Amino acid sequence: MAEDKKLGFDDTPLIPGTRWHVHDGQRPQPPVVAPGDESTQNSPGAAPADAIILFDGKDASGWVKSSDGASPLAWKVADGYMEITPKGGDIATKAHFGDCQLHLEWASPTVPSGDDQGRGNSGAYLMGLYEVQILDCYENVTYADGTTGGMYGQCPPLANACRRPGLWQTYDIIWAAPRFIGDGRVVPARVTVLHNGVLLHHDRELMGPTKYRQVASYRPHAETGPLVLQDHGDPVRFRNIWYRPIVGYDRT
């Protein structure tokens, strides 16, 4: 990346409680941390016995186009993974869920192209609303709240744990959905994220659903929602996606 390339934005709103603009190019970068064991590259790890499988590498019947919530997905499904295809569009699970433990594995293109936000870009939207950024940030710099594993537009990750392009990477996410109380009070969503075993967020409180170039805020929405995987125009691959509902998590 050229040294004079401008990252992010300086004309967006300030994030409340900070001195940083949304997608601020001057916000400090997360430190690079080399992730550990790569022994699961050839085959994914086994899901827990009580996990609900969303994608096992073969059967994608539990997914639909996010645009209409009904049409079969148009992504490539082969060789144990599904891959974003040109104009494939975002996809969503038929299953809707709230509080959960979520596991997914993804890989950016083996031969990288582009830089900044234009390199291996996708996203995992919890409940279809809250984005954990997927991006190839291996030796690729972008604005801090848009880096790999960031809660997009809100919270940069504590570290950059990216593996080389083409290698499989893991997200393990503990998600606590927001609660909308009858008197108008909101109990904010909270999230913990590990990337390749490295902690990125711990019980992080969110300001609302993901927005681009705007400050997030809450409006009442459904108690559950789908997992949405974003088509941002790059052929990102996914495999071994499962979740475990968290039952009895009283946050009111």
pLDDT tens digits, residue range 32-76? 988 877 777 888 888 999 999 999 999 999 999 999 999 999 999
- Residue pair 135/120 in contact by the 8 Å Cβ criterion: yes
Nearest one of 97, 160, 149 to 128, comparing CA atoms: 97
**Structure confidence at residue 46 (pLDDT):** 86
pLDDT confidence bin for 3, thresholds 50/70/90: low
Mean pLDDT in residue range 98-122: 95
Predicted confidence (pLDDT) at residue 23 exceeds the cutoff of 90? yes
Mean pLDDT in residue range 172-189: 94
* pTM, full prediction: 0.90
- Concatenated DSSP letters of the chain: --TTPPPSBSSSPBPTTSS-BTTBTTSPPPPB------TTSSSPPPPPTTPEEEE-SS--TTEEETTTSSSBP-SEEETTEEE--TT---EEES--BSSEEEEEEEE--SS----GGGSS-EEEEETTTEEEEE---TT----GGGSTT-BTTTB--S-B-PPPTTS-EEEEEEEE--EE-TTS-EE--EEEEEETTEEEEEEEEP-SS--SSS--------S-B--EE---SS--EEEEEEEEE--S----
**Structure confidence at residue 35 (pLDDT):** 82
Mean pLDDT in residue range 118-141: 97
Report strand pairing: 81-83 vs 76-78. antiparallel
**Structure confidence at residue 2 (pLDDT):** 47
**Structure confidence at residue 183 (pLDDT):** 81
Using a pLDDT cut of 70, give the percent of the chain over it.
Answer: 98
**Structure confidence at residue 184 (pLDDT):** 85
Mean pLDDT in residue range 100-107: 98
Predicted confidence (pLDDT) at residue 1 exceeds the cutoff of 70? no
Predicted confidence (pLDDT) at residue 150 exceeds the cutoff of 80? yes
pLDDT confidence bin for 132, thresholds 50/70/90: very high
Mean pLDDT score of the chain: 94
pLDDT tens digits, residue range 209-235? 999 999 999 999 999 999 999 999 999
Give the domain ranges of the chain.
Answer: 52-245
- Fold assignment, 52-245: Jelly Rolls (2.60.120)
Structure tokens belonging to residue 145: 């709240």
Residue 189 CB-density burial (10 A; 0-12 exposed, 13-18 middle, 19+ buried): buried
Within 10 Å of residue 55's Cβ, how many Cβ atoms?
Answer: 25
